Structure 1
């Protein structure tokens, strides 16, 4: 079973039921809601605010593959910015609810100052021109093999580049590019990007062979050797669906979009995920996304529930 193409999985093919209400089929590859841009362009032409710059999501229930209902309601329509409410439900129960802030990023609307903020731990230097050739001596590429039942199947849509130099356990740095050569990152995909980092949690397991930075480096080097002899695994049914003691389920997330990407999108983004605290089954995390010039593109704060895989599998058997 091949993965659903990324643009389709991110929300195309939506069926309009009535104004502000849609049905969509969530693919088995992963589940993300449609963009808000089309709705705003159709219903509020006069304000010309098609850029999402702020998102606040609360998650109540898991969304499974199949039909979901997506409802959009106006909260406030202003001259320079507006707020809408989006609700995702399935089988009559609300699963997700979020406020989205809209504006036109092409228009200057406030003061700007350089705060001179920098990384506490500088990222390892990288050359995008060398990453394109998969030949930067300080980074190794890794692509997660696709498995139709894996909780990490969404990561197979990207090629990750991992620093060969070990970092602090609380940090995961990545350069990312779509695994499909014709796909690019647009602003509409940033909600997907901030939720797709390789797992920080795996750095803290006693068994470092599972999904830690060290394990990912080892896997990336093995993939490189396989490519050199003509072996490339995209669909890997034998890889196992749940290869970790636990995984994260997002309870709440906020996303600030700081920059409008070019209309055609970009091929490369840098992302740093950093755990602030892992305690009592919850992890607080910050994700920062930059373009290839290291200009800030998006910031996300996330509260995640740490779910034991064995318990999740037991619950799945009961469904």
Structure 2
């Protein structure tokens, strides 16, 4: 069997195994965590795979027309409690089964106590608690792929920084080989605790990588190009991997940290630091996430994806994020709206009793 375009490493990390007709198991991988907590986008990729696996199982059992297995086009996710690296159980409730569109409700559950995962039976309901809830909408891939998009009047504003080619296009071969092209440059690099971000190679506008004051970082436009490099090995973006990417932008996290310091009066406008250096001062748990997959990627995947991340307001350490993901041709691949908190990172290292709930 050919290796999936997103690599065998990512495939293993999001693997889902059927237990019965409506129950599945997975193992949340520590190398896709933020400190000790599985990354929200990575967890969303497991939910995506659960939904796809569920409908593939139904098709294989003859409960759908042959070759008519539906796949996710939208996810509405609520993170109820802190997850941990280790075994997880996903339970599927079928809300609506349609010829073209279907909706399911998925719960991701783990043991109440992280240490119990290694000592107790994992399939007893009384030992599990719900960590993540999701409503997932699915559609037929052939319908999505055969439909020609009708574009509105929307465009990126302000425009994305230019590359070196005519018309401002980016020379991606040069960017990959040399780490620089036009106004784009390799970076930032993920801090040590952000394990999940180390599977990306990021490229940012050069100006955002220069030292900036807190005020400048709090108001900067966040753009990035990203390549998928699980375990440091180049791979290509798949539909599951796009879901992971919607929740990962180091510059956006840096901007949230600067906004929090502005709100609390702890920032020094005269002290300039490089984007990314302040990330370890805060933890940014995702509270809720809505993902709309606008374009299905080809089976062979794509190498580059562009993210534009907007935050309109932070108040009471709670911030909104709007994420747009586009391919090299400027076609919209996915959109996401999220709610995140900016909190003390010690929550990510403390025991279950002090940091299990937000």
The TM-score bracket by the shorter chain reads 0.7 to 0.9
Is the 1:170–1:274 Cα contact (8 Å) retained in structure 2? no
Structure 2 counterpart of 1:291, from 311, 320, 327 = 327
How far the C-alpha of 1:51 sits from its partner, in A, is 2.7
- Decide whether aligned partners of structure 1 residues 255 and 211 sit closer, same or farther in structure 2, where only a CA change above 3 A counts: farther
Q: How does 1:272-283 map to 2 (within 5 A)?
A: 272-283=308-319
Determine if contact 1:170/1:203 at 8 Å carries over to the other structure: no
| Corresponding position of 1:184 | 236
State whether residues 210 and 244 of structure 1, in contact with CA within 8 Å, keep that contact through their aligned partners in structure 2.
no
Q: 1:202, 1:208 within 8 Å by CA — same for their partners in 2? A: no
Q: Greater RCO between the two (CA within 8 Å, min separation 6)?
A: 2
Distance in 2 between the 1:310 and 1:74 partners? Answer: 38
State yes or no: 1:139 paired with 2:184.
Answer: yes
- Could you tell me which residue of structure 2 aligns to residue 37 of structure 1? 52
Task: Report deviation, 1:106.
Answer: 2.7
Partner Cα distance (1:138, 1:73) in 2: 48
Residue 85 of structure 1 and its aligned partner are, at CA, apart by: 1.1
1:116 to 153, 172, 177: 153
Q: 1:182–1:164: structure 2 CA closer, same or farther, 3 Å change rule?
A: closer
Preserved CA contact (<8 Å) 1:87 1:97: yes
Shift of 1:207: 5.9
In structure 2, C-alpha distance between the alignment counterparts of 1:52 and 1:207, rounded to whole Å: 45
Equivalent position of 1:7 in the other structure:
11
CA distance in structure 2 between the partners assigned to 1:74 and 1:297 by the alignment: 27
Query: Is the partner of 1:79 in helix, strand or coil?
Result: coil
Note the residue ranges of structure 1 that are not aligned, 5 or more in a row: 220-241
More strand by share: 1
Correspondence 1:20 to 2:22: yes
Q: Is the 8 A contact 2:162 2:182 kept in 1?
A: no
Alpha-carbon distance, 1:38 to partner: 2.2
Cα distance, 1:29 vs. partner?
1.5
* Count of paired positions: 286
User: Structure 1: how far apart are the matches of 2:270 and 2:294?
Assistant: 36
What residue number does 1:96 align with?
132
Mean alpha-carbon deviation: is it higher for 194-203 or for 105-114?
Answer: 105-114
Deviating more after overlay: 278-287 vs 179-188: 179-188
